[in-house]
Amino acid sequence: MEIALKGDYERYVPGLKELKKEINFHLSDGGIPLVIEMNNNEETVIRYENGQGLISCSDNEYNFYRAFSLFIENMKRNETFFLRESAQFRTVGPMFDLSRNTVMNIEAFKGMLRKLSLMGFNSAMLYMEDTYEIADEPYFGYMRGRYSEEELRQLDDYAAELSIELIPSIQTLAHLEEFLKWEAVANLKDTRGILLVGEESTYEFTKRMIEAATKPFRTNRIHIGMDEAEELGRGIYLNKFGHKDRLELMVSHLKRILAIVNEKGLEPMMWSDMFLKLASDSGIDQYDMDIQISDDLKNLVPKNVDLVFWDYYHTDVQDYKSLIKKHKEISGTPVFAGGIWVWNTFGVNYTLSLKASEAALLACKEEGVRDVFVTMWGDDGFESNYFAAMLGLQYYAEHQYSKTVDEEKWHERLKFCTGLDAETYMYFDQLDNIPGVEEGSSDQTNPSKFLLWQDVLLGLFDKHIEGLEVGAHYEQLSQKIASSRDASRELDFILDVPEKLAAVLAKKAQVGIRLKTAYDGNDKEELREIATTELPKIMRRVEALKQAHKVQWLTLNKPFGWEVLDIRYGGLISRLATAIERLTDYVDGNLDKIEELEQERLPYNSNLDKTSGLGWSSYYYRIATPNVFFHVLPIY
């Protein structure tokens, strides 16, 4: 499609040249006339009639890029159209977890930014615990794929062309385990992941953190973290200074960090959970609807930092409204951070994500929240990928431009912006939404993870799927994904892992139950069949899955962190080989019994009957074995 831009368009040309990599158009004097004009209100108008187009938008460039993509999308119908929309929030953007092994490579990140621009996002947050460069701190992000200052500047320059604000999100108190593990920086450590507050060396270091994290970026905004700091003051600090009230320690440390931030003219925000936890009766529940916000708490919390209320669990609008109001009592209207559940799974829990997001975003609009982010965490090695979350990201984008979301428009936009349709993205949901999960379940459940990594001889999760047609579900899912593939689509490659994972689980998910049943029934022919046919077939499928996963990882991410998953796959294949050996020895009469199969099977989650899912485990090492995987030392 050829477009002839008219009016005030020169500043958009660099961004449009990049967006040509995503959508099919050419700028040409002989193309369809498209007049670009700025208006003095917040409404964007996109129109085509009598052979001429119009985009009229406020002086916010991100509105233009979304409007332009809407124009191209609707021009494909070759008929008159008139669209109007208004932004609901000042800021809307995803937060990418770049600290749990996945550090997106520069080209993949640029591709993501282009898609965000088409969707209409105006910001993106980079969550970097230790994956940015600090001069003269060689252990900070060592072998973790940290970004150099130049790489971050390159990303910021590229995002700016697309009118997207990149915001650094760092940690200045907790979640620094991967840095503080090094002996060379023991002087900065309170507990495993908590900085030693109150020490001048800590504030000299945090000043350098803040300087390094903000230097490559245009923005004045910074997220200083400080969430989940329950261990604060309970390690080296306790030994050195004695017991101190955690709220007082938290506020004292925050004031020191804010002094550094303010000196540099930055606009800080921080996670709010610790204030709510410490205000709750239990001291640990940030979602306690009965929390009373005392005058002491109001007076303690500094007012020159925006609190970020994070919640990806609730599915009721009133719950979000109640918690937003509690934030208002503490320190004014909060920033909100929801989530697309890509963490601790090979898929995406869209069933929970979309329900929670709908409730949260409606509440945010009613309560006047101005800044909204959507987190995508990468807990426990991040087996999924950010591009699988596009259905959820598009949902946030559509909420930004309308009071409620029209499903048909949302899905059409998704297909235009990403090349894949909603049904295709829901395959990622079906990796965990399997027989035994109640329809519409809002509980966390991740069978795609625990059924892959669990050991076939130990069967820690076998009780969770007894009597269910799990294998048949995965077989059908693998076939559905395979039949939907189209190599001409840019993002088709992200379907390779779910297709091959489903093929693995079609055979592996229930093989442990078959082993136990055959062993208990002394059916040695069945055991021999499993050892000689089924387990070798599973091993071949695991090898194919590992290869697909490696290709996906190296396409999207820096290589650092892949070794974690490589080791997991290697361990899985090795344990399958061991199972073949032990079964063969048993059926050949070289073993009197297989002790692993003598053991009673117990459910991994004891409260399985109280959930609408099939159970949950956050940690590979707990899924793979009930034995000591590594020795956890004291918190300090």
DSSP H or E stretch at residue 552: helix 535-556
* d(C-alpha 330, C-alpha 130), whole Å: 30
Under the banding of pLDDT at 50, 70 and 90, the label for residue 3 is very high
> 568-601 in b/e burial notation, b at 16+ Cβ within 10 A?
bbeebbebbeebbebbbebbeeeeeebebbeeeb
Q: In the numeric block, which tokens belong to residue 526?
A: 């069945």
Q: Where are the domains of the chain?
A: 2-86, 91-419, 432-624
Under the banding of pLDDT at 50, 70 and 90, the label for residue 635 is low
How confident is the model at residue 42, as a pLDDT? 83
Q: Which CATH class is domain 91-419?
A: alpha beta
- The predicted-structure confidence for 556-573, as pLDDT tens digits, reads as follows 999 999 999 999 999 999
How confident is the model at residue 78, as a pLDDT? 80
How confident is the model at residue 207, as a pLDDT? 98
Inter-residue contact 358 to 407 (CB < 8 Å) = no
pLDDT at 92 over 70: yes
- The predicted-structure confidence for 453-484, as pLDDT tens digits, reads as follows 999 999 999 999 999 999 999 999 999 999 99
How confident is the model at residue 457, as a pLDDT? 98
- Tokens 């309970």 label which residue? 234
* d(C-alpha 105, C-alpha 115), whole Å: 16
Residue type, 235: G
DSSP H or E stretch at residue 37: strand 32-38
* d(C-alpha 530, C-alpha 526), whole Å: 6
Under the banding of pLDDT at 50, 70 and 90, the label for residue 636 is low
- The predicted-structure confidence for 283-315, as pLDDT tens digits, reads as follows 888 998 889 999 999 999 999 999 999 999 999
Summarize the confidence of residues 518-538 as an average pLDDT.
98
Residue type, 247: L
Q: What is the CA radius of gyration of the chain?
A: 26
* d(C-alpha 229, C-alpha 220), whole Å: 25
Question: For 588, which DSSP code?
Answer: T
Q: Among the residues of 283-349, which ranges form H helices?
A: 295-300, 317-331
Q: What is the CATH number of domain 2-86?
A: 3.30.160.230
Summarize the confidence of residues 601-628 as an average pLDDT.
96
Nearest Cα neighbor of 455 from 601, 618, 605, 591 is 601
HSE, CB side, 13 Å, CA atoms: give it for residue 213.
32
* d(C-alpha 505, C-alpha 616), whole Å: 17
Q: In the numeric block, which tokens belong to residue 545?
A: 């899955």
Inter-residue contact 362 to 336 (CB < 8 Å) = no
Summarize the confidence of residues 142-165 as an average pLDDT.
98
- The predicted-structure confidence for 371-391, as pLDDT tens digits, reads as follows 999 999 999 999 999 999 999
Taking CA 345 as the corner, what is the angle to CA 343 and CA 351, rounded to the nearest 5 degrees? 85
* d(C-alpha 367, C-alpha 361), whole Å: 10
Bridge partners for 310 per DSSP: 337
- The predicted-structure confidence for 313-362, as pLDDT tens digits, reads as follows 999 999 999 999 999 999 999 999 999 999 999 999 999 999 999 999 99
Strands (E) in 163-204, as ranges, are 165-169
Q: Quick one: CA dihedral 605, 606, 607, 608, positive or negative?
A: positive
How confident is the model at residue 283, as a pLDDT? 81
Inter-residue contact 448 to 505 (CB < 8 Å) = yes
Under the banding of pLDDT at 50, 70 and 90, the label for residue 279 is confident
pLDDT at 632 over 70: no
* d(C-alpha 612, C-alpha 409), whole Å: 31
- Tokens 């080791």 label which residue? 567
How confident is the model at residue 38, as a pLDDT? 87
Q: In the numeric block, which tokens belong to residue 376?
A: 């995508």
- The predicted-structure confidence for 116-152, as pLDDT tens digits, reads as follows 999 999 999 999 999 999 999 999 999 999 999 999 9
How confident is the model at residue 152, as a pLDDT? 98
Q: Quick one: CA dihedral 259, 264, 265, 271, positive or negative?
A: negative
> 247-275 in b/e burial notation, b at 16+ Cβ within 10 A?
bebbbebbebbbebbeeeebebbbbbbbb
- The predicted-structure confidence for 22-59, as pLDDT tens digits, reads as follows 999 999 999 999 999 988 888 999 999 999 999 999 87
* d(C-alpha 77, C-alpha 517), whole Å: 59
**Length of the chain in terms of residues written:** 636
Mean pLDDT check: name the lowest of 57-66, 171-180, 214-223, 416-425. 57-66
CATH superfamily of 432-624: N-acetyl-b-d-glucoasminidase (1.20.120.670)
All residues at 6 or more sequence positions from 135 whose CB lies less than 8 Å from its CB, including other chains: 208, 212
Residue type, 87: A
How much is the mean pLDDT over the chain?
A: 96
How confident is the model at residue 191, as a pLDDT? 97
* d(C-alpha 224, C-alpha 127), whole Å: 10
